[in-house]
């Protein structure tokens, strides 16, 4: 989970390259704050549910993963849509600064990318949900 959150932060910062300073500070601050809040919550929930003192099976039996899932899923939604917003911001910025046919081509490409992103979001949401709320127990 920490690795995935780090990848999320790296992806967010990679889209900030070349943006104006005020946008970098605002959006970068939101990404960093969300990342730190998420990590703090994950470590706190793991500590409170006994993750560091119990074996993995005991922790699963104690429903520690469900408590962790209740924390992770809202951040998954917020983070995914914040990243989509940042990607769309980049696409629209390039599209509206270009002229002619390329503007409409970029806008169509943005729409296609959004559809693919939302399909990937749904697939990843299913994987995250199954891993955090095990139905086999």
Between CA 121 and CA 136 the distance in angstroms is 24
DSSP state letter for 133: S
- Per-residue pLDDT of 69-97, as tens digits, reads 888 888 889 989 999 998 898 888 888 88
Model confidence, pTM: 0.80
Q: SS3 letters for 59-108?
A: HHHCCHHHHHHHHHHHHHHHHHHHHHHHHHHHHHHHHHHCCCHHHHHHHH
Ordered DSSP codes for 9-65: HHHHHHTTTTS-HHHHHHHHHHHHHHHHHHHHHHHHHHHHTTTTTS-HHHHHHTTHH
- Per-residue pLDDT of 24-62, as tens digits, reads 899 899 999 999 999 999 899 888 888 888 887 787 777
């Amino acid at each position: 989970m920490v690795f995935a959150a780090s990848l999320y932060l790296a992806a967010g910062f990679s889209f900030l390259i070349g943006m104006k300073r005020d946008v970098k500070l605002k959006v970068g601050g939101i990404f960093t704050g969300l990342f730190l809040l998420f990590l703090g919550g994950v470590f706190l929930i793991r500590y409170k549910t006994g993750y560091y003192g119990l074996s993995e099976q005991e922790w699963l039996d104690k429903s520690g993963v469900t408590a962790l899932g209740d924390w992770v899923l809202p951040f998954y939604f917020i983070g995914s849509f914040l990243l989509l917003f940042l990607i769309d911001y980049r696409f629209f910025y390039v599209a509206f600064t270009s002229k002619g046919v390329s503007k409409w081509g970029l806008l169509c490409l943005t729409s296609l990318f959004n559809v693919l992103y939302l399909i990937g979001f749904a697939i990843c949401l299913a994987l995250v949900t199954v891993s955090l709320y095990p139905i086999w127990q």
